[in-house]
Amino acid sequence: MIHTTITNFRENLFDLLEQTLKQDETVTISTKGGNAVMVREDTYNALLETLYLSSIPGLKGSILEGAKTPTSNLIAESEAQW
């Protein structure tokens, strides 16, 4: 993660953006009014998706339970449905 000031960010915008896009580097920009974060779009979308999925009651338990199920059981159940 790169930490920078707004002044440095303005001076090095292109280079910082390139690092974010090509190296998946997160940039934290400090200003007098607060901080901002620059991330790749796919990283941002993944964070939003994780937040959304985390908001669904019981989903985490279902996923953890499903992870414990042997794949042989899944194949047998799938064949039984057809």
Domain borders along the chain are 1-39, 41-74
CA–CA distance, 50 with 63 (Å, rounded to integer): 13
DSSP H helices, 1-82, are: 6-11, 13-23, 41-54, 59-68, 71-81
Predicted pLDDT of residue 60: 85
Query: In the structure encoding, which two tokens stand for residue 9, read together?
Result: 């960010």
| pTM of the full structure | 0.68
CA–CA distance, 74 with 66 (Å, rounded to integer): 10
Half-sphere exposure of 66 (CA within 13 A, CB side): 7
Residue 82: pLDDT band (50, 70, 90) is low
Residue 1: pLDDT band (50, 70, 90) is very high
Predicted pLDDT of residue 8: 98
Q: Which fold has domain 1-39?
A: YefM-like fold (3.40.1620)
Predicted pLDDT of residue 30: 98
Could you report the per-residue pLDDT of 32-80, keeping only the tens digit for each? 999 999 999 999 999 999 999 888 999 888 888 888 888 776 666 556 5
